[in-house]
Amino acid sequence: MRGHRRGGPEQLTYEIAPRPVPGRGEVYGLIPFTRDGAVARFVAVPAAVLAAEPARLDHDHAAALPPAGLTAWQGLVVHGGLRPGARVLVQGGAGGAGSLPVQVAVALGASVTATADAEAADFVRELGAGQVVDHRSERFEAQVKDVDLVFDTVGGDTQKRSWQVLRPGGRLVSIDATKEGGRFFVVEPDRTGLEELSRLVADGEPAPPVDRVLPLAETAQAYAALEQGHRRGKTVLHVS
């Protein structure tokens, strides 16, 4: 249904819009969390959560985009209210969930500082961060101040210390479930967000970093590797 005209109830009109029909071609999306997971050759999902896969990416890189890309988009834009020219601090900028916020924020015209360990500093700079703070040897609050938005993927003490680097009125969004405060959110399936990400990809950003690609038969090894940490982007299961 489409609504029309702003104003009181007497102004409101609506029309029944045609239901979108999936066309030919490849699609990508984030499977709703109420469904069984994606470690399978086939999955049934509502068409409403799918968008056309960006032509510039191969399937492995396209597969990496919906979870981390939508997390980035929703955290930065929907919850964080990001505007071009904003100053953003990404906590955990080398991780599976932290690397896309760096890329997407830069693509949207923000200047980005990210925390990461020293070994990952070059990787995070290549993602577009103008400044990288080594979270093991440096205090980020000694180097960063007056940021408009903190995107926190780490939580705990890192999140508590993040409040002091915000400008008055700045926002802290968090995906860490320890919920120390800030605007905690869980990523949701979102066609509009995917279409915005596809548009950014078509413009040249962001190609999501992929740490490793494993065949479906090696799913157990993929999860074991996730538990060891120190990732540089997403782990992808290649189905066929």
Ligand X SMILES: NC(=O)c1ccc[n+]([C@@H]2O[C@H](COP(=O)([O-])OP(=O)(O)OC[C@H]3O[C@@H](n4cnc5c(N)ncnc54)[C@H](OP(=O)(O)O)[C@@H]3O)[C@@H](O)[C@H]2O)c1
**Nearer to ligand X by C-beta: 31 or 175?**
175
Q: Is 94 in the site for ligand X (CB under 6 A)?
A: yes
**Nearer to ligand X by C-beta: 59 or 212?**
212
> Is residue 165 within 8 Å of 145, Cβ to Cβ?
yes
| DSSP code, position 193 | H
Residue choice 86, 88, 89, 153 for contact with ligand X (CB under 6 A) = 153
Residue choice 117, 141, 180, 205 for contact with ligand X (CB under 6 A) = 117
Tokens at 52, concatenated:
């056309």
> Is residue 224 within 8 Å of 203, Cβ to Cβ?
no
CB half-sphere exposure, 34, CA atoms < 13 A: 4
**Nearer to ligand X by C-beta: 102 or 207?**
102
Query: Which of these segments, 5-13, 76-84, 115-123, 202-210, binds ligand X (CB under 6 A)?
Result: 115-123
CA 149 to chain centre: 15
Smallest gap from Cβ 160 to ligand X, in A, equals: 11
Smallest gap from Cβ 101 to ligand X, in A, equals: 10
**Nearer to ligand X by C-beta: 153 or 198?**
153
Residue choice 88, 97, 102, 150 for contact with ligand X (CB under 6 A) = 97
Q: Is 198 in the site for ligand X (CB under 6 A)?
A: no
Please give the residues from 201 up to 240 whose contact with ligand X meets the rule CB under 6 A.
229-231
Smallest gap from Cβ 139 to ligand X, in A, equals: 11
The CA–CA distances, whole Å, from 48 to 38, 193, 202 equal 17, 12, 21
With CB atoms as reference, the residue minimizing the distance to ligand X is 95
Cα separation, 204 vs 197, whole angstroms:
11
Please give the residues from 11 up to 50 whose contact with ligand X meets the rule CB under 6 A.
none
> Is residue 106 within 8 Å of 77, Cβ to Cβ?
no
Cα separation, 97 vs 85, whole angstroms:
22
Number of residues that bind ligand X (CB under 6 A): 22
Cα separation, 47 vs 194, whole angstroms:
13
Q: What is the largest CA-CA distance in the chain?
A: 63
Query: Which of these segments, 53-61, 86-94, 105-113, 202-210, binds ligand X (CB under 6 A)?
Result: 86-94
Smallest gap from Cβ 181 to ligand X, in A, equals: 15
Cα separation, 176 vs 209, whole angstroms:
21
Cα separation, 47 vs 70, whole angstroms:
17
Residues that bind ligand X (CB under 6 A): 71, 91-92, 94-98, 115-117, 135, 153-154, 158, 175-176, 186-187, 229-231
